[in-house]
Amino acid sequence: MFLRVFGIARNSGFVHGYRQGYIYQQKFSLVNIKLKWVKDRTLDVVVAAQRDVKATGILVSIIHSSSQCCLPIYHLSRYRGQLGLPSDLKLSTFIRRYPNIFVESCFLDSGGSPVPWFSLSPEALELRHREVSILQQGQLELRDRLCKLLMLTSDRILPLQTIDQLKWDLGLPYDYQYSFIPNHPERFSYVRLPDDRVGLKLLFWDDKLAISELQKNSSLQQKGEDIKNGSLAFPVSFTRGFGLKRKCMEWLKEWQKLPYTSPYADASHLDPRTDVSEKRIVGVFHELLHLTLHKQTERKNVSNLRRPLSLPQKFTKAFERHPGIFYISKKIDTQTVVLREAYYGQEPVQNHPLVQIREKFASLMKKGLLDRSRGVYKRNKDTNSVDDLRNADKTNQISSKDKSDSMFYDHDSDSPLQSPC
């Protein structure tokens, strides 16, 4: 009896329709696929090179913004948390690695003890001036970059702490809250958040900016049929030697054909348990990384964006499920997410002017390390006498109160003492 009924149903097309519905349902449900992580030495080199450059760039900005363009070590130590240096590395040791960027001098505090101060070398100062010029000339581009970041969020608001974690990646000045935001009152406003933190709110939605990088390049990278159907595919490449199983290849091919939801569009109607929703999440990260200068950021920075971006729990698993789009580098004791399509080997496909300045700083740092190892920067035997230091301008003296206020106070000075700032 069952076989008879089944035969009738099959002949009438019922079974075919059921199978089609089942396939459609599976196509849009979250497929449990796991892809292995494979080390990419080329991109690891790119990531590793960024840490010291970032720390140096921030220190240069801080020193340059000071009234005398010269600061004591205890003052610089207050910014240590922003530098990303290893906890067991003394800040003074790091600074002294690059004597062709940071020039050390010495003042006496009120107790008569010598305290190291640091200023910038002529080469570093020239690069910093060029960097400031680029920032001034690119104000509108930088404004749009920050606007797009806020447009990715559901409420168009981000806490300042979250923006602070991304400011180096975005190319924002380290003191953007005072030097940049006030210049654009028509776009940004400070607001008090429910948890009593301060946030930055977007005041104006610009439809011209609400176009993702994938959509911009669709005419060059996508098939006409896919553009018409709205099923844009992400550029994919794998680490050399990466073996993709046939099952995974078929899944990825089908996944790429799924509808693409713009990261700037409302996605509240999407079921988070589906591959369509995951493709939207990948699209958000894809756009976010395109907003950064180096097309990379630390994974913890992205984790703090879950609520503002209205993403589900464990959303960063998308990085691991799509190693052809993102690479997770585990260098320098952290996890950094890199957008694969942004690099050709170790070279960026597009080089922002600020990135070019950072590369020049990297070259200068490399030269300083090499010269230091060759003994070019030796201890100066003709250091200033204590009497000369005591006669320095009183405005440059450090009060004992300031010294005691810093929990990171660092008095060591095993390097040559140059002329005072």
Q: What is the mean pLDDT of residues 293-314?
A: 90
Q: Which residues contact 348 (CB under 8 A, 6 or more apart)?
A: 294, 295, 342, 355
> What integer pLDDT is reported at residue 279 of this predicted model?
94
CATH class of 52-128+360-402: mainly alpha
In terms of pLDDT, which residue wins out, 1 or 157? 157
pLDDT tens for each residue of 236-269: 988 877 777 777 888 888 999 999 999 999 998 8
pLDDT tens for each residue of 286-302: 999 999 999 999 999 98
Q: What is the mean pLDDT of residues 332-360?
A: 93
Domain 139-206 has CATH 2.40.10: no
pLDDT, averaged across the chain: 82
In terms of Cβ atoms closer than 10 Å to its own Cβ (0-12, 13-18, 19+), residue 222 is middle
- pLDDT of 417 > 60? The answer is no
Written as one string, the DSSP assignment of 193-262 is -TTS-EEEEE----TTT---HHHHTHHHHS-HHHHHHT---------TT----HHHHHHHHHHHTSPP--
> What integer pLDDT is reported at residue 32 of this predicted model?
67
Q: For residue 245, how far is the Cα from the chain centroid?
A: 32
Say whether 139-206 and 52-128+360-402 share the same fold.
yes
3-state helix, strand and coil shares in percent for the chain, rounded to the nearest 5: 50, 10, 40
Of the given ranges (56-60, 345-349, 416-420), which has the lowest mean pLDDT? 416-420
Q: What is the pTM of this model?
A: 0.81
Pairing of strands 198-202, 336-339: unpaired
Q: Where are the domains of the chain?
A: 35-42+214-348, 52-128+360-402, 139-206
> What integer pLDDT is reported at residue 390 of this predicted model?
42
Of the given ranges (168-172, 173-177, 319-323, 381-385), which has the lowest mean pLDDT? 381-385
Q: How confident is the model at residue 5 (pLDDT cuts 50, 70, 90)?
A: very low
> What integer pLDDT is reported at residue 109 of this predicted model?
74
> What integer pLDDT is reported at residue 220 of this predicted model?
72
pLDDT tens for each residue of 179-190: 999 999 999 999
> How far, in Å, are 222, 226, 266, 278 from residue 229 at the CA level?
11, 5, 19, 18
> What integer pLDDT is reported at residue 175 of this predicted model?
92
- pLDDT of 280 > 50? The answer is yes
> What integer pLDDT is reported at residue 87 of this predicted model?
87
